[in-house]
Structure 1
Amino acid sequence: MVDAPARPIPSRPKTQSRDAALHAPPPRRARQPQALGIDVARRIEALILDGTLRPGERLNEVTLARSLGVSRGPVREAARALEKTGLVTVIMNRGAFVRSLGLDEAMEIYEINAVLFGLAARRAAEAVTPAQAAALRAMVEGMENAIMRGDRDGFFQINSDFHACILACGRNREAETLYGQLTRKLMLLRRRSFESPGHMEKANREHRALMEAILAGDGLRARDLAEAHARLGRARFLDAIGHHPLSEEDTA
């Protein structure tokens, strides 16, 4: 009897060694939905703060999703997140709208911010570093250049950076956080403060005086000038919307 040829034993599939598996790069993952929602919220916030999306305007999910290159889900999630920051109002069955800040609420925020800004300016005068001093000088000069060019948007951006820098120099995180949250709401209105002729020039004269007090280490004068600057900023806004004319004190 002839023996049948032996069948080859099937070889086992090769497997990665344990070490190779441990050191293999992780597989690529799509961006997590939560991270995508945060990114979309930041981008929509920027559109609100730069005036592209106006107070009272409805957030069109389809249009925003198309322009931001995402689906409608992250836009809806972003609207809910921005509602918590006070920039958006979500109305059931109607949608999300850029928040319209009432005049009374705006005046209350200006009042609180004056105290916070004064506190930060006093502390900044006691602790400003050479690098921070140079940054403040550069921003005051940058605003001066923006005025000469008639660049209101450029002035507004540097103005915001100047205030934020003083809050950072004040080294009080709670005050800095609260000021940032309140100022974000005011961003819906503050651009109008610089629409009237001469308002940018007056504001930057106040910036320069405040900067000089901080760099001289005069904390009390810095505090007083910062609080006065906040009150004058409120008056400029009221003047810009025609609420009442600036008084002689306000135009000094």
Structure 2
Amino acid sequence: MNRRQRNKIVPNIWIIAAKRSDTAHNYFALYAIDWRRGARLSWEGWTRYEDFLQFRVPLKRKVAGRANSSQPAAKIAKKALYLQLNEAQYEELEQLFYQPFSRKRWKVFMKEHTRKEVDWDCCFLLTLEDYLYLDHQIHSEVKPVKWEDITELHPGRFVLVEAIKASSNNQLRQLEDMSVIQDYDDPQKAWSGYKEMHKLHPSRELYVFHTSRSDVEVVEEFFSGVRQRT
């Protein structure tokens, strides 16, 4: 690697960290890591995921340079590793970010906070495209909750939820266990959040409900036939 290459910043690992406490909403931060050169960048301060997706991420092309380029956060989110952390885990991530760069410590941290079936030792030897494919398959570890618990934690709110455990019977989808991704006071913002999340993760079973509902049974609809062009 020559001097010019050493001065470049080329992030190849992106991390979206969502910190959540018992009394506060999500707090989002974005981390960019140049694994080869050990360079790191971070941005933080969002309390709503849809606000984060509207952000354009400025990137320095050189370590000590002034020239910047930018990328939309919505595009970065498609390849980012998503970590849902409590306050202690988030503090551990912050300390890791400001310490001298260590591939070993970063690998240990990411391995501890993602699903165990991913072989991270092998993952870092893959091409960037292969890494991003594996990275996209990883979901953060979440604690499933019942609808009754969600209504108590988020009274009078619209909630964007992911179904963790569900079953179908007589064209009714019954959601048993869920995780709350975000809560809202505005239904339009809730649906905007749903559309953005569905665009990024089309295979995940997502719903928007108001917590005034007593149950969350969903009628399954199936289309059969030919649509006529208009």
TM-score over 0.5 for the alignment? no
> Highest CA radius of gyration, 1 or 2?
1
The TM-score range, normalised by the shorter chain, is: under 0.3
Q: Which protein is richer in helix relative to its size?
A: 1
TM-score by length of 1: 0.26
Q: Which protein is richer in strand relative to its size?
A: 2
